[in-house]
Amino acid sequence: MKIIPVILSGGAGTRLWPVSRKAYPKPFMQLADGKTLAELTFDRALDIATEGEVVTVTSRDYYFLCKDIYKKNKKCDIDKQSFLLEPIGRNTAPAIALAALQVQKAHGDDAIMIVMPSDHLIKNIETFNKTVYQAAELAAKGYLTTFGIFPTAPETGYGYIKAGQRLNDHASVIEQFVEKPSLEVAEAYVSSGEYSWNSGMFAFQVGSLIEAMQKTANEVMTQAKACFDSTDTNNSQVEFELKQFMQLPDISIDYAVMEKADKRAVVDSRFDWNDIGSWNAMANLSDSDEAGNRIEGKAITVDSKNCYIRAGDRLVAVVGVNDLMVVDTTDAVLIAHKDKSQGVKDVVQFLKAKDHEAAVFHKTVHRPWGSYTILEDEDDCKVKRLIVKPGQVLSLQLHHKRSEHWTVVSGTAKVRVGDDEFLLEANKSVYIPVETLHRLENPTDTDIALIEVQCGSYFGEDDIERFEDIYGRIDDKQANT
């Protein structure tokens, strides 16, 4: 039996702002132990991947983040990994349909896909692996199989699955999918023992899934095939064209297939599972002190109880407060009552409406070539610290409204300014006038650090014109440098 894990890596994670933001969402934020959910998910996927291959459905913005994380895993052969890059988010049904076509092309109709979001935290890996193989066995028999999490509380933030006739000692036929219930209804579900939480993880035999989608969601599968067939899918990095991709319906796999298909199963899942859908859920991952306070980072509590504090680089102190969440980052601080954790997403909506950068970016922004950190942002200048990874190249570009000064702090950069190319060593600087072509490359095997000072009247990320870019961003106005 071939098992090909499929990771769905994306999402805004708005309920975990200000740490999770659109440009660096929940899968990539660090947990208390320093690891990321994307890192942990990929490691789990490799453990069950019989061919050493994992298919990741993500966007171009997150592709480089995923690939960098994957390459650090000692079990990973990066040349075996496949990435399907969506130009825009179109929900889970199109993503899974395209992944199914990719797996079918490489491994045939009998291959088993294990679909897993990249932002779930799972512990007790031995139990998880055992459950995956149980689900795979059902999928091999043609069942569209989902993982039903044994409910530990009457949660109202999850959908539920009602189990029907038992198929064996660890799985049942699915009788019904239920939307997020009220607390009273959720309590009844949990006490009945017939319901499990809908985890959003699945096991599909590729041929069975495609056949089911043709019956229950023919438009999704038809457009997915058209999109797939019009794309060069022979590379490990498959990027779908926007115009064709937009023809795909925006619909979840639950609505498109699982609620309508004939042959459905739910496998009992008793591993430790957490989708970390709020700061309360994140807080519960940390141990509490004798006053019920949970602290990550440098923080002091005085006469305070039941608080969660996630400190960044600064020391955070709270005095005489109870039941608060305090999340500190370099450019934004969240302070909220623990009962209002779901309201954090409303802050993000407000910021989006105001076109505020904090809805999208951190002070440190990750790019395919490395990262930059904004050190100062004033009306007449903007200062950044850039880190350029070995072998990486910034785009050949110019700016219409600003000049730039580059000073190399460490390493040696290959620089082009106008028609001149030269090496720029540590403690050396170069001036780039307005309307002048320029590019920076790291030809060495160590990181380059440099300070960029922008001078002018406008420093927006849309003041850029690209002429060459190895990352395919010629038409991308969002990505600076």
Domain boundaries, the chain: 3-274, 279-343, 364-468
Q: pLDDT at position 477, please?
A: 47
Identify the burial level of 182 via C-beta atoms within 10 angstroms of its C-beta, where 0-12 means exposed, 13-18 middle and 19 or more buried.
exposed
Q: pLDDT at position 475, please?
A: 61
Class for the domain spanning 364-468 = mainly beta
Instruction: Let me know: does 435 contact 403? Beta carbons within 8 Å.
Output: no
Q: At what angle do helices 125-140 and 37-48 cross, to 10 degrees?
A: 50
- State both tokens at 276: 């970390």
Rounded to whole angstroms, how far apart are CA atoms 372 and 383? 10
**Residue-wise pLDDT tens for the chain (481 aa)?**
999 999 999 777 789 999 999 999 999 999 988 899 999 999 999 999 999 999 999 998 899 999 999 999 999 999 999 999 999 999 999 999 999 999 999 999 999 999 999 999 999 999 999 999 999 999 999 999 999 999 988 988 889 999 999 999 999 999 999 988 899 999 999 999 899 999 999 999 999 999 999 999 999 999 999 999 999 998 899 999 999 999 999 999 999 999 999 999 999 999 999 999 899 999 999 999 999 999 999 999 999 999 999 998 899 999 999 999 999 999 999 999 999 988 999 999 999 999 999 999 999 999 999 999 999 999 899 999 999 999 999 999 999 999 999 999 999 999 999 999 999 999 999 999 999 999 999 999 999 999 999 999 899 878 899 999 988 877 654 444 5
Q: Are strands 264-269 and 144-149 parallel, antiparallel or unpaired?
A: parallel
DSSP class of 37: H
* Residue from 99, 42, 81 nearest 236 by CA: 81
Rounded to a whole number, what is the distance in angstroms from the first to the last CA of the chain? 46
Element (H, E) at 245: helix 242-245
Homologous superfamily, domain 3-274 = Spore Coat Polysaccharide Biosynthesis Protein SpsA; Chain A (3.90.550.10)
* Residue from 432, 386, 430 nearest 410 by CA: 386
Residue 67 CB: number of other CB atoms within 10 A?
A: 17
Virtual CA dihedral for 222, 226, 232, 235, nearest 10 degrees? -10
Could you tell me the pTM of the whole model?
0.91
Q: pLDDT at position 481, please?
A: 54
338: three-class secondary structure by DSSP = helix
Rounded to whole angstroms, how far apart are CA atoms 371 and 368? 8
Q: Are strands 316-319 and 299-302 parallel, antiparallel or unpaired?
A: parallel
Q: pLDDT at position 479, please?
A: 47
Q: pLDDT at position 10, please?
A: 79
Q: pLDDT at position 476, please?
A: 54
- State both tokens at 63: 């592709």
- State both tokens at 92: 């889970």
Identify the burial level of 364 via C-beta atoms within 10 angstroms of its C-beta, where 0-12 means exposed, 13-18 middle and 19 or more buried.
middle
Q: pLDDT at position 332, please?
A: 96
Rounded to whole angstroms, how far apart are CA atoms 433 and 417? 9
